[in-house]
Amino acid sequence: MGWKIEGQFDESIKKCVFIVVPHTSWHDFFLGLLIRGVMDTTINFVGKKELFNFTFGWYFRMVGGEPLDRSGGNNKVDSIVKIFNQKELFRLAMSPEGTRKKVTDFRTGFYYISKKANVPIVPVAFDFGNKKIVFHQPFTPTESIENDMEYIKSLYRGVKGKIVERSFE
């Protein structure tokens, strides 16, 4: 389809948080599945537990999904960290934008998941403008969220999503 992969993912990393930017279209999910298949690697996602019912649960699990149970007073970050702690292999892909709409800032959940689970962040760009998937080097958060977020955001400057006007910048 004319796409290329730039950079590579170190398969020895058994647990991490992939942050995929920009997230502008439902096509991003299927592009992610396609790239994951080409790379022949396990990459996961989470969804509310209600999505994993009898009707669709088998499909979501088959493509790497993990139900997220937020009952019992757990917040989303703690619930995801619990999944990391229960698995030997868990590579969570998520969008730090939190929506497919235009945003000017990232949500910070991915950052706190990484810190609490003690796993690296792997920034990934879906650059529709240049038809390439870019895997950046794994990043371990420091004690300065401001500096870390500025560094992470810098990796996505100029990257265009499927719906260009919704791209992060």
Residue 134 confidence (pLDDT) above 80: yes
| 133 neighbors 35 (Cβ within 8 angstroms) | yes
Dihedral sign from CA coordinates of 123, 164, 149, 76: negative
pLDDT of residue 100: 64
The pTM score is 0.86
Give the tens place of pLDDT for each residue, 6-24.
998 999 999 999 998 876 6
What is residue 129's three-state secondary structure?
coil
